[in-house]
Structure 1
Amino acid sequence: MKPCLLIVLSCLSVKLFSQTSSNANHQSVYTIENVQFKSMGVSLAGAIFMPKHPHAAVILVHGSGQERRMVNLASNLARNGIAVLTYDKRGVGESGGVYAGPEVGTNNVDSANLNLLALDASAAAQTLLLHLPGKKVLLGLVGFSQAGWVIPIAAEKNSEVRFMILFSGPVATTLEQLRFQFYTNGKTSFWETHSEADVREHIKNDPDRYQFTATDPLNSLIRLKIPGLWLYGGKDIQAPVGLSIERIDKLKAQGKPFEYHLFPMLGHNTAFSKSQEPYNAALQWIKDISHCSKKNGYKGKSK
């Protein structure tokens, strides 16, 4: 048996956001251009959603699972003045390469795979930069769940990335994440019978069921200077939210420009829940930092 991380989120995101855009009149608001780009010797396929006058630009970074491009989410962002590149994950859809995940019997949180996915996100960022109208548009990475490990690595690798947003992204090692997930065992009623103290004790002392090199997002986060926003649900049973928030607070105390929002009644799928609060919070945050950047003068690379 291979580690199976955050598959619920990835399957849901495919269902909600990999459809063809229903807005037949989008041409008056934004254009869509199919693109291909190279990453580590393979060709990845995606699409660029370009508003007429973008005030920011983002790459959508996948959660776990066999995810294709997120068309509806990209459309929503483009309608709000944000340029988007969304692509089929490596080994999925029209993208080349080999997909790693429990569905095919491989470890999707192996450090080599997470680093490879980070390189793919960085290559996507470079591709979108080439299509932006001028150099004064802030470029960021927006991701889900497993992207909590991928995005910090990608942002550290690529100095053109100016901000990051993580929906339910763990600030925990991959092995800590597995200990937590095995403990909750997918039970939606978990938090009715367990406390945060129970969770901390279990994560600290539970023996690992698998042996592989853990990925720790803190290794990249301590070196990043760009703004970051995490959006969490208080009833999450896949990511250790309390532990993650504690670590973000420590980074903030060290002067990192990091923020988080906790939505107490939501679970892991903060980006795709019926509530629009997390999405709206992310959208407003992008507008705020974009406005602040223009007001203070675009300073180019931030690392």
Structure 2
Amino acid sequence: MKHLLGTALLLLTLPAVPAFAQAACTPGTYAAPGGDFVVLVKSPAVAAPGLRYLFRDGRRGATSDAGVPLACGANDVTVNGKVWAPIAFRETPATFDSVGTKMTGVLIEPPGAPDAKRPLVVMVHGSERTSPIGGVYGYAMAAQGISVFVYDKRGTGGSEGEYTQNFELLAEDAAHALEQARSMAAGRYERAGFFGGSQGGWVAPLAATRTKADFVAIGFGLVASPIEEDREQMVSEVRAAGLGDDAVALVNRLSQATAGLLLSDFRTGYDALDAVRAEMADKPWAAKVEGEYSGAIARMPNDMLKRIGRARVDNLELIWDYDAVAALKKLDTPLLWVLAGEDREAPIETTRGALLGLAKEGKPFDVYLFPDTDHGMFEFTTNADGSRSVTRITDGYLKLLGDWIKGDARGPYGRAERLTPR
């Protein structure tokens, strides 16, 4: 969850987009009679007239890719020789107020007669600055028979205010979004709650303590503070490099030193940082350590840190020592948490331990893990230099989210492993 870079996916190498393979497609969601679907949307990552596509089983790419697994017609798509028809969603734009800020959103409802037993979910986005309105994930949820409210985070898209990553303020926004969605869908839903991905794993549970929520679902989020995230990322890096306990102990000390700077607003902590720098000086691998922010801090001279460290690293109002466990302890709401087994952005060990401990104490938490996946539930290939290239969203993830939100999670879901007992 790269706070300073916006979206976690910046670390993952996307495949190159080759020349257009077919005629232009029409944005929309198209469904097979058996329930499969594909979402086609415009995306800044795909050159026009190409569209981003996402299948229920997690296959993704651009309609301009060579070998794309669909063919577009005037008002339909053909997949494996069968015609899939468009889903005529009901989409209602909205504005609402949150803490004196005008926010924009859209309610997406499946077609057909109003269904008072349909679930309603508010999508709580991650650290990205892009608008989720018109994106693949809201439609992928709605295509599974769920009413979905998507909204622009403050300071992004059509929402006013300043962009921030302050979990308290973002949770207020999410709570107001749920209240707005309930009002708009009155009489056409039974249960209402949140889904949060990545940074939304901090925000959505907190929002559920501010307003009544019937459920919370989280994908690849953390039950750890941003400071702990930084430390765990560095530990993951040195372990991946084949280094031992001495290296782990050193990056732990580095994280502790940089945390001291952050928590003092860069006023104090320089002696501790200098001591760790001295220990790192003869370690060739130390120059490659990154973490979430500690590597960058360690490589900046103290005079620069004193002048611009806060502006460079601490300009988004993050709560660095945020107590995620405390928010979860306040919840008696059913919660789904889905872990990416090889998550480099949000290493899972602390999170898995906290969730399983809370479930053992009686919290109504369901925890699933998809092995061999990175942040975003992406499967990947590993390149010669150790970097990863995304291939697809792992099969079963989107269906698990949809079924669980509808109260009907039975599985199996691809290679998912359920970590909590039924």
TM-score (norm 1): 0.77
Q: Which residue of 2 aligns with 1:7?
A: 7
- What amino acid is the match of 1:173? S
The answer (yes or no) to whether the contact 1:173–1:215 under 8 Å persists in 2 is yes
The worse-fitting range, judged by mean Cα deviation, of 209-218 and 80-89 is 209-218
Are residues 1:119 and 2:178 paired? no
Distance in 1 between residues matched to 2:249 and 2:337, nearest whole Å = 20
Offset of residue 66 of structure 1: 0.7
Q: Which residue of 2 aligns with 1:42?
A: 101
- Where 1:156 maps in the other structure, the secondary structure is coil
Distance in 2 between residues matched to 1:8 and 1:217, nearest whole Å = 20
Distance in 1 between residues matched to 2:146 and 2:249, nearest whole Å = 39
Which of these residues, 401, 407, 414, is aligned with residue 282 of structure 1? 401
CA 1:132–1:268: 2 relative to 1, 3 Å: same
CA 1:27–1:184: 2 relative to 1, 3 Å: same
CA 1:41–1:274: 2 relative to 1, 3 Å: same
* Runs (5+) with no aligned partner, structure 2: 13-38, 44-50, 54-71, 77-84, 264-319, 380-391, 411-422
Distance in 1 between residues matched to 2:147 and 2:393, nearest whole Å = 24
Distance in 2 between residues matched to 1:158 and 1:204, nearest whole Å = 39
The worse-fitting range, judged by mean Cα deviation, of 3-12 and 275-284 is 3-12
Q: Which residue of 2 aligns with 1:129?
A: 182
CA 1:3–1:164: 2 relative to 1, 3 Å: closer
RMSD: 3.5
The answer (yes or no) to whether the contact 2:233–2:346 under 8 Å persists in 1 is yes
- What amino acid is the match of 1:168? F
Distance in 2 between residues matched to 1:27 and 1:17, nearest whole Å = 10
Distance in 2 between residues matched to 1:44 and 1:264, nearest whole Å = 37
Instruction: Encode CA deviations 1:36-89: one digit per residue, 9 max, x unaligned.
Output: 111111111121101243621111111112131243221122121100111111
Q: Which residue of 1 aligns with 2:349?
A: 242
The worse-fitting range, judged by mean Cα deviation, of 257-266 and 127-136 is 127-136
CA 1:176–1:40: 2 relative to 1, 3 Å: same
Distance in 2 between residues matched to 1:195 and 1:261, nearest whole Å = 30
CA 1:281–1:195: 2 relative to 1, 3 Å: farther
Q: Across the two proteins, how many residue pairs are aligned to each other?
A: 272
The answer (yes or no) to whether the contact 2:109–2:148 under 8 Å persists in 1 is yes
Distance in 2 between residues matched to 1:207 and 1:5, nearest whole Å = 22
Q: Which residue of 1 aligns with 2:419?
A: none
Q: Which residue of 1 aligns with 2:315?
A: none
Distance in 1 between residues matched to 2:94 and 2:137, nearest whole Å = 18
CA 1:87–1:219: 2 relative to 1, 3 Å: same
CA 1:35–1:19: 2 relative to 1, 3 Å: farther
CA 1:135–1:217: 2 relative to 1, 3 Å: farther
Instruction: Encode CA deviations 1:131-154: one digit per residue, 9 max, x unaligned.
Output: 224275111111111111111110
Matches for 1:222-237 after TM superposition, within 5 Å: 222-237=329-344
Offset of residue 180 of structure 1: 2.1
* Runs (5+) with no aligned partner, structure 1: 101-107, 292-303
CA 1:37–1:184: 2 relative to 1, 3 Å: same
- What amino acid is the match of 1:275? T
The answer (yes or no) to whether the contact 1:156–1:220 under 8 Å persists in 2 is yes
Distance in 1 between residues matched to 2:10 and 2:106, nearest whole Å = 19
Q: Which residue of 2 aligns with 1:269?
A: 376
Which of these residues, 60, 71, 91, is aligned with residue 32 of structure 1? 91
- Where 2:132 maps in the other structure, the secondary structure is coil
The answer (yes or no) to whether the contact 1:10–1:65 under 8 Å persists in 2 is no
Offset of residue 114 of structure 1: 1.1
Question: Which is richer in helix?
Answer: 1
Offset of residue 202 of structure 1: 5.6
CA 1:237–1:80: 2 relative to 1, 3 Å: same
Distance in 2 between residues matched to 1:17 and 1:68, nearest whole Å = 16
Distance in 2 between residues matched to 1:123 and 1:68, nearest whole Å = 18
- What amino acid is the match of 2:200? A
Distance in 1 between residues matched to 2:244 and 2:398, nearest whole Å = 28
- What amino acid is the match of 1:33? T
Q: Which residue of 1 aligns with 2:149?
A: 85
The structure with the larger Rg is 2
CA 1:261–1:5: 2 relative to 1, 3 Å: farther
Which of these residues, 58, 65, 85, is aligned with residue 128 of structure 2? 65
Distance in 2 between residues matched to 1:237 and 1:192, nearest whole Å = 13
Q: Which residue of 2 aligns with 1:218?
A: 325
